[in-house]
């Protein structure tokens, strides 16, 4: 033990190991949640390995205004091309696997894997494993309209993990979606919006949900476990920790 109670670094490294893989992060989807990924990943590496350890990672970051416009225009093929190009840039930089810092943009996972030869660490898989570990089988899903309504996300939860997935009613879906794009991706945190989300969660629980997935990487900025009585599954946190698991494997 050194001065100020700091452990000897060399001893800690020999005992605890090292980072062995480079994480390739596709960020800027939005940058508000990309910050959280970077923070959680590095805090988790430091906590596990000790001393001054941090993650080996690369990030290719989009201008989210462009992405948002293409999403709402339904130009998913163009978005897919951009995502594949981003992943290729990460591969060229030395990334060993890809982490998409967004739930919605997991629509392109298969294309990215085919286009790069890299594996994509799927956010839905990390989330589903936590739900199963908690012993739950019925969960509510909050996210963008694309994530809640399309099958790429909830279908994976249902088919691969045998989870029953509930989504909000159409009015609540619109509210959840609009708050993400008009507030959360811009860093705006409003109590009135939190109240609307909590009301939506209460309705999902009344319909049989045992827990709720925060299925947009910005929702964790607004809602956390103390806000509701049922278990909350923060996809940003779970995905970032799974990235560390993979990097240290």
Q: Are residues 105 and 167 in the same domain?
A: no
φ/ψ bin of 218: left (φ > 0), alpha (ψ from -120 to 50), beta (otherwise): alpha
Q: pLDDT digit string (tens) for 62-121?
A: 999 999 999 999 999 999 999 999 999 999 999 999 999 999 999 999 999 999 999 999
Q: From residue 13, how far is each of 9, 42, 65, 79, 209 by CA, in Å? A: 6, 16, 42, 42, 44
Beta-carbon contacts of 56 under 8 Å, excluding residues fewer than 6 positions away, are: 19, 21, 22, 23, 247
pLDDT given for residue 18 in this prediction: 83
Does pLDDT of 233 surpass 90? yes
- CATH number for the domain that contains residue 191: 3.40.50.1860
Q: What is the mean pLDDT of residues 122-136?
A: 98
pLDDT of 12: 38
Number of structural domains (the chain) is 2
Q: What pLDDT score does 19 carry?
A: 86
pLDDT above 50 for 247? yes
Answer yes or no: do 10 and 100 share one domain: yes
Instruction: Tell me what the mean pLDDT of segment 185-208 comes to.
Output: 98
Looking at residue 160, what is its pLDDT? 97
- How do beta strands 138-142 and 23-27 pair? unpaired
Return the minimum-mean-pLDDT range out of 1-10, 22-31, 221-230, 231-240: 1-10
The percent of residues in the chain predicted with pLDDT above 70, rounded, is 94
243 and 226 co-located in one domain:
no
* Integer Cα distance of 164 and 216 in angstroms: 19
Do residues 95 and 180 share a domain? no
Mean pLDDT of the chain, nearest integer: 94
* Whether the Cβ atoms of residue 240 and residue 37 lie closer than 8 Å to each other: yes
Per 3-state DSSP, the chain is made up of helix, strand and coil in percentages (nearest 5) of 60, 10, 30
| Tens digits of residue pLDDT in 19-78 | 899 999 999 999 999 999 999 999 999 999 999 999 999 999 999 999 999 999 999 999
Residues 7 and 118 both lie in one domain: yes
Are residue 212 and residue 228 in the same domain, yes or no?
Answer: yes
Give the residue-averaged pLDDT of 189-211. Answer: 98
Q: Which domain holds residue 188?
A: 123-234
Mean pLDDT of all residues in 232-245: 98
Shared-domain flag, residues 13 and 118: yes
Q: What are phi and psi of 6, to 5 degrees?
A: -85, 130
């Amino acid at each position: 033990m050194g001065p100020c109670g700091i452990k000897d670094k060399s001893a800690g490294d020999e005992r605890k190991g090292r980072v062995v893989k480079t994480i390739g992060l596709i960020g800027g989807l939005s940058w508000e949640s990309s910050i959280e990924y970077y923070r959680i990943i590095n805090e988790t590496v430091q906590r596990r390995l000790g001393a001054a350890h941090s993650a080996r990672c690369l990030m290719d970051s989009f201008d989210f205004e462009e992405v948002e416009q293409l999403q709402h225009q339904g130009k998913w093929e163009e978005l897919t091309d951009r995502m594949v190009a981003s992943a290729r840039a990460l591969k060229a930089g030395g990334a060993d696997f890809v982490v998409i810092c967004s739930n919605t943009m997991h629509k392109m996972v298969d294309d990215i894997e085919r286009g790069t030869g890299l594996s994509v660490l799927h956010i839905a898989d990390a989330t589903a494993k936590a739900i199963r570990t908690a012993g739950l089988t019925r969960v509510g899903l909050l996210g963008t309209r694309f994530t809640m309504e399309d099958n790429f996300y909830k279908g994976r939860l249902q088919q691969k993990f045998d989870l029953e997935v509930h989504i909000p009613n159409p009015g609540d879906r619109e509210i959840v979606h609009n708050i993400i794009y008009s507030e959360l991706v811009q860093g705006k945190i409003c109590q009135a919006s939190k109240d609307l989300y909590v009301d939506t969660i209460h309705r999902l629980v009344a319909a049989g949900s045992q827990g709720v997935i925060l299925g947009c990487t910005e929702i964790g900025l607004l809602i956390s476990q103390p806000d509701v009585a049922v278990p909350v599954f923060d996809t940003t946190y779970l995905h970032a920790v799974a990235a560390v698991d993979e990097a240290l494997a």
